[in-house]
Copies of this chain bind each other. A is one copy, B any other.
Amino acid sequence: MRSVTRTLGLSSAAMGLTALTALAGSGAAGAAPAGGESLYAPSALVLSVTDGEDAVGGTVLRAVTLVCAPRPGGTHPDPEAACAELQAHAPDLDALAEPRPDAACTREWSPLTVTAEGVWQGRRMSYSYTYANPCALWNSTGAAFTI
């Protein structure tokens, strides 16, 4: 249950932004994408589980996509629950990553590292959390990382 690396690419200044104000403030007029403008600040994430405590160099066991606007989707097994959790807690995902206090897990050190990276409401996100063993991950508080 040790958090080895934890980086939050989202600045706290971004927290109060709604999707519309974030887009309006982006100065994007000169860079209109080929597909037309969206009414939502972009959000697109990859959530992954890596063997070991090295999220960058380790072997990735699972990786799913998650989008939350205009509706939850992606290859995540439960995008509705994951999006609700992210909307409640992002950018600090510890509240949904940490194992439940009542989880009955051993202290065996067989680490797994989860990551959430990509873009959340127009800002880059890079989050990771390392669990002591698979039991701790499968007993995490939220649904976002049980992929």
A25 within 8 A of B: yes
For A, the interface residue count at a CB cutoff of 8 angstroms equals: 52
Residue of B nearest to A134 (CB): B31
Q: Is the CB of A51 within 8 A of B26?
A: yes
A1 close to B (CB within 8 Å): no
Which A residues between 64 and 103 are near B, CB-CB below 8 angstroms? 64-67, 73-75, 77
Are the C-beta atoms of A46 and B119 separated by less than 8 Å? yes
What does the 1/0 interface line of A11-53 toward B look like (CB < 8 Å)?
A: 0000000000010011110111111001001111110111100
Given A117-B117, A118-B117, A122-B60, the answer on whether A77 and B34 have CB atoms closer than 8 Å is yes
A59 is contacted by which of B25, B34, B64, B74 (Cβ under 8 Å)? B25
A48: B residues at CB distance < 8 A: 42, 44, 118-119, 124
Q: Complex formed: what's the CA distance from A138 to B34 in Å?
A: 8
Q: Are A59 and B122 interface neighbours, CB within 8 A? A: yes
Q: Given A49-B33, A51-B26, A124-B55, does the pair A60, B42 have CB atoms closer than 8 Å? A: yes
